[in-house]
A and B are shown apart, each in its own frame.
Chain A
Amino acid sequence: MFTLPRPTARQLPRIAVTMLFLSAAGVTLGACTDDGMKDIAGPAQFVTDDDEGDNDLVYDQVEFLGNPLVSEVTIAKANHDAYNRTQPYNTTTFGPQSLAFINAFRGGQPVVANTLGAVLYPDMLIVESSRNPATAGWLSWALAAGWGGRNLSDDVVDAGLSAIFGKIITATGAYCDNFALPLCTDNVGANDKAFGSVFPYLASPTTP
């Protein structure tokens, strides 16, 4: 059974979406000015024309990322630029390419490509927030009835490799045991710095 690391716990109530945010927006820390600037660290805030022209700004998407590794691994590099202009509802046009990539290795077991295709497309990090948060981990929503999402510490490389080349979906035709050489692990299992237990959780940068 496929399991991904990292715990925590509990259940979640659910409310209408924007109301909570709008009601919370008035509470601030630090100095406030008339234009609503909220300064936490640094000098007293000044009135700026920061927001001028905001309504004139139009942006075109350059890059898109949902699940890790989908484009990077299963889509030919020449098509990455096109992939970056898509979004989950039309990334399915790339599904056949991902399936073809997986089937190049596991063509004898189409259940591998079909399962991964159904899990990885539409390409979004799926969270099942009604489930136990202790079960959070990449693809746990599909493979282990878990919370899903993606933890900082998830070894997504090993998970992806083992799903494509290993025995996670079926042992038949596997190139390796899960999380083992030659192709089901890269033998880099953790980040070089520990993640934090307090916000913002990512480790502090390496300084010169």
Chain B
Amino acid sequence: MQKRNYSKVPLLAIAAVALTVASVLAVRGVSASDHQDTPLVEFSPRFDVNDVYAFPAPGNPSRTVLVLGTSSPLTPAQTPSAAFGSKSQELYQIKIDNTGDAREDLVFQVTFTGPPGKQKVTLRGPVAPNSVGTVNTLVGGPMIKGYTNTIIESGSIKLFAGPRDDPFFIDLEAFFRILPDRKPESGPLSTITQGPLTFRAASGVNPAVDFVRGFNDLAIVIELPTSTIANPATNGRFGVWGTTSQARN
């Protein structure tokens, strides 16, 4: 599997670069739980699904919160003009399997229109998809609409879509030193070579650094009654995943 070279890697001032607002190149090198994991999404970050979360709503555990994080990393300077992909180009989905066959039974479909900074967001679902799989069309049924960067409530559903602090945290430089195969195509981390098989200490000469610190992402957050997506037939067990899809011309 991994060749082990043990060649020493010179110290890089990654932390300083990561917090620099100016350089776009510095931005393109960041990753996380699934940030920028292929060249396609690295250079088209709107299609990058960085993270997916599912957790009971704090203070209201009969409700579930679903999060789809995209477009990381955004520097603070880039954030005000950052935009979700428009509906004519991109579809964001959270999919739910609640019958135990790993195929989606329900989909949340989120689309956007309008200019950066003042986009409109539409949520369709959760309803059964028109088609199961990687080719999807927009479902019918009720839609919830509003502006990005606002809390939208309709019935028992809450929706938010907009810039947030990227919730992920990792010493990414150390990770790529251990697994240089996974490094990005561009940016300061793209030149990392194999280092010793160890992460860094919490403090000291060369401490661990949260590489995602200070970056933002574009997040879609949906909260709704758990009973809306849980199925008695599986004793309430369901699976969640997130996808981005590109419109055909």
Given contacts A62-B246, A187-B207, A200-B219, contact A27 B155 (CB under 8 A): yes
| Proximity string of chain A (49-89) to chain B, C-beta cutoff 8 Å, 1 when within and 0 when not | 01100110111111111101101110011001100111111
Residues of A within 8 Å of B160, CB to CB, are 199-200
A202 and B219 contacting across the interface, CB-CB below 8 Å: yes
By beta carbon, the residue of chain A nearest B122 is: A50
A72 and B33 contacting across the interface, CB-CB below 8 Å: yes
Q: How far is the CB of A151 from chain B (nearest CB, A)?
A: 5
A71 and B37 contacting across the interface, CB-CB below 8 Å: yes
**A36 and B232 alpha carbons, distance in the complex (Å):** 32
By beta carbon, the residue of chain A nearest B126 is: A21
Residues of A within 8 Å of B23, CB to CB, are none
Q: Is A47 an interface residue (CB 8 A)?
A: no
Size class of the contact patch on chain A: 35 or more
Residue among B225, B239, B245 making CB contact with A88, cutoff 8 Å: B239
Q: Is B128 an interface residue (CB 8 A)?
A: yes
Given contacts A124-B102, A152-B55, A191-B169, contact A77 B37 (CB under 8 A): yes
Residues of A within 8 Å of B151, CB to CB, are 40, 199-200
Q: Is the interface of B mostly helix, strand, loop or mixed?
A: mixed
B210 and A192 contacting across the interface, CB-CB below 8 Å: yes
Given contacts A25-B142, A76-B181, contact A12 B226 (CB under 8 A): yes
A181 and B198 contacting across the interface, CB-CB below 8 Å: yes
A residues adjacent to B (C-beta < 8 A): 6, 8-10, 12-15, 17-18, 20-30, 36-42, 50-51, 54-55, 57-66, 68-69, 71-73, 76-77, 80-81, 84-89, 100-101, 104, 122-131, 133-134, 136, 141, 147, 149-152, 155-157, 161, 181-183, 185-193, 195, 197-208
Q: Which 6 A-B pairs have the closest CB atoms?
A: A24-B155, A124-B239, A25-B142, A68-B33, A182-B198, A59-B245
